């Protein structure tokens, strides 16, 4: 059966949003934002702060497994940290070779390593050897830095290093998040390697999901920003009943938004929580006109009480929303 995975999204998909999105249903597992491994052995608190789900069997409150993503370039240090992390019994460990941000890349992290397939293999092999076999070790990569010339070399290197699954984001580092995607390159990788390939990139609708599966030949898909823009997308793909957002969906989303706002306020200082809600609604405007109106109502608000009042005027029942564990 086809699998749907919720992507790691730095600065966006934290434990609060993971809990809300996975509660809507449809996901086989999700992946955290990355933990940067540089020069030290990180304490367990670093992982549990990023993923409080580790304290609950490495699952969200709705039961979706959570894999922890590591980012770095030193095979020995990554292996040591992965072995230390494994003591917390994560649902899986994922390696980041896809982050395109300049700050990460300047420090030889993420997609910056895609010109060094030999290094990718050493990292993969070291981490896999350091982690108990019962814990899946996977990787996520882009197609290259400026072009796709070494994409297949990188995929083969990660396979040789013992990765059990590989997510391929159908863009290069230079592509960033522009609408251009290279699904056909993912197809070539799928044909050349034996490990399962999970296709990723520019899936915003059910139609996009069907197209990426058809072009890449991959039955498994990772949803990123499309899952944030339409929080019911995975469920919509699963049930096959409605390809597009409906008015009834908004009633469900109002409950999700109320729960999200309540949990964000419980987690963050008052001056930070408004930005998180605006960030989510800003993406949701792509799929829901109601989100556009709600975003307009809170756009200028700077204080949490102002936003709560605007949300209640917009029909959200904040009194019924209660924080839940991750």
Per-residue pLDDT tens digits for 28-70: 999 999 999 999 999 999 999 999 999 999 999 999 999 999 9
The model's pLDDT over 262-305, given as tens digits with 9 standing for 90+, comes to 999 999 998 899 999 999 999 999 999 999 999 999 999 999 99
As annotated, the residues of the chain forming the CATH 3.20.20.70 domain(s) are: 4-239
Tens digits of residue pLDDT in 65-104: 999 999 999 999 999 999 999 999 999 999 999 999 877 8
Closest to 158 in 3D by CA, of 94, 101, 81, 102: 94
287 contacts: CB under 8 Å, gap ≥ 6: 204, 229, 230, 245
Q: How far is Cα 16 from Cα 281, in angstroms, rounded to an integer? A: 15
For the CA atoms of the chain, what is the radius of gyration? 20
The CB density around residue 173, as the number of other CB atoms within 10 Å, is 23
Query: Once rounded to an integer, what is the mean pLDDT over residues 177-182?
Result: 91
Tokens of 203: 């899936």
Q: Let me know if 96 is exposed, middle or buried by CB neighbors in 10 A (0-12, 13-18, 19+).
A: buried
Surface-to-core class of residue 54, CB atoms within 10 Å of its CB (0-12 exposed, 13-18 middle, 19+ buried): buried
For the segment 215-244, the average pLDDT, to the nearest whole number, is 93
Distance CA 210, CA 169 (A): 16
Burial 115-125 (b: 16+ CB within 10 A, else e): bbbebbbbbbb
Please report how the helices 273-284 and 289-298 are oriented relative to each other, as an axis angle in degrees rounded to 10. Answer: 150
Angle at 134 between CA 61 and CA 23, to 5 degrees: 15
- Token reading at 253: 């989303």
**How far apart are the C-alpha atoms of 38 and 229, rounded to whole Å?**
33
Span 224-231, mean pLDDT?
Answer: 97
Dig out the tokens for 61 from the structure.
């409150």
Residues recognised as catalytic: 99
The mean pLDDT value for 255-259 works out to 95
Portion of the chain with pLDDT greater than 90, in percent: 88
The answer to whether residue 323 scores a pLDDT higher than 60 is: no
Residue intervals of the chain classified under CATH 1.20.225 are 247-320
Which residue in this structure is represented by tokens 């994922």?
94
Give Cα separations from 94 to 6, 63, 204, 206, 323 (angstroms).
13, 19, 24, 26, 28
pLDDT value at residue 322: 60
User: Quick one: pLDDT band at residue 180, thresholds 50, 70, 90?
Assistant: confident
Beta-carbon contacts of residue 309 (< 8 Å; ≥ 6 apart): none
Out of 3.30.160.150, 3.20.20.70, 3.40.50.300, 3.10.180.10, the CATH code matching 4-239 is 3.20.20.70
Which positions ≥6 away from 148 have C-beta within 8 Å?
Answer: 172, 182, 185
Identify the CATH assignment for 247-320 out of 3.40.630, 1.20.58, 1.10.1060, 1.20.225: 1.20.225
Full-model pTM: 0.95
């Amino acid at each position: 059966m086809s699998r749907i995975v919720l992507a790691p999204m730095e600065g966006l998909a934290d434990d609060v949003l993971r809990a809300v999105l996975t509660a809507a249903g449809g996901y086989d597992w999700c992946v955290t934002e990355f933990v940067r491994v540089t020069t030290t052995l990180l304490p367990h608190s670093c992982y549990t702060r990023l993923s409080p789900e580790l304290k609950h069997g490495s699952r969200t409150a709705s039961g979706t497994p959570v894999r922890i993503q590591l980012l770095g370039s030193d095979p020995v240090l990554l292996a040591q940290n992965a072995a230390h992390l494994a003591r917390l019994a994560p649902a899986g460990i994922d390696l980041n070779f896809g982050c395109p941000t300049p700050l990460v890349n300047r420090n030889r992290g993420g997609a910056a390593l895609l010109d060094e397939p030999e290094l990718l293999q050493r990292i993969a092999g070291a981490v896999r050897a350091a982690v108990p076999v019962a814990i899946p070790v996977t990787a996520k990569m882009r197609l290259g830095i400026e072009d796709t010339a070494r994409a297949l070399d990188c995929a083969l290197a990660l396979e040789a290093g013992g990765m059990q699954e590989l997510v391929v984001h159908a863009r290069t580092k230079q592509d960033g998040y522009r609408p251009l995607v290279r699904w056909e390159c993912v197809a070539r990788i799928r044909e050349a390697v034996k490990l399962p390939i999970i296709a990723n990139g520019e899936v915003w609708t059910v139609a996009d999901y069907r197209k990426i599966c058809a072009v890449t030949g991959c039955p498994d898909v990772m949803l990123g920003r499309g899952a944030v823009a339409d929080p019911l997308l995975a469920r919509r793909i699963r049930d096959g009943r409605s390809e597009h957002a409906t008015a009834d969906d908004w009633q469900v989303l109002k409950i999700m938004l109320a729960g999200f706002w309540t949990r964000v306020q419980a987690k963050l200082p008052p001056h930070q929580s408004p930005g998180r809600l605006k960030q989510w609604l800003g993406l949701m405007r792509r799929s829901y006109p109601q989100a556009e109106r709600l975003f307009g109502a809170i756009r200028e608000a700077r204080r949490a009480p102002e936003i709560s009042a605007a949300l209640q005027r917009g029909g959200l029942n904040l009194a019924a929303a209660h924080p839940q564990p991750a």
